[in-house]
Amino acid sequence: AQKVTQAQTEISVVEKEDVTLDCVYETRDTTYYLFWYKQPPSGELVFLIRRNSFDEQNEISGRYSWNFQKSTSSFNFTITASQVVDSAVYFCALRGLTGGGNKLTFGTGTQLKVEL
């Protein structure tokens, strides 16, 4: 069975602060993919990043960075110098190959509020 845990239900920060969203996953698959999606108030989930289980290289994209650590089954997401527009619910998701198709298992999400 696959499971994704996002222990932080809500985080509030002041603009320009850095913030890290935690994600811990469980899977029996040796090959799997991890994702982060953003859900703004409009409701549409927006893809942010994908990582496969063989690629532990961390990535930085503008103000976003991701830290994948297979040893601790974590895939954390950091926003540097947060902005009000970053306010949204962020979902971590997992897809294992044995599941077949494109079935994603989502975490419960972390509500990020960035205030002025």
Binding site for another protein (CB under 8 A): 4, 33, 35, 42-47, 50, 91, 93, 95, 100-104, 106-109
Total count of residues recorded for the chain: 116
What is the nearest approach in angstroms of another protein to the Cβ of residue 100?
7
Amino acid letter for position 45: L
> With respect to another protein, which residue has the nearer C-beta, 80 or 99?
99
Nearest to 35 by CA among 92, 73, 88, 78: 92
C-alpha of 35 from chain center: 6
What is the nearest approach in angstroms of another protein to the Cβ of residue 27?
15
What is the nearest approach in angstroms of another protein to the Cβ of residue 36?
11
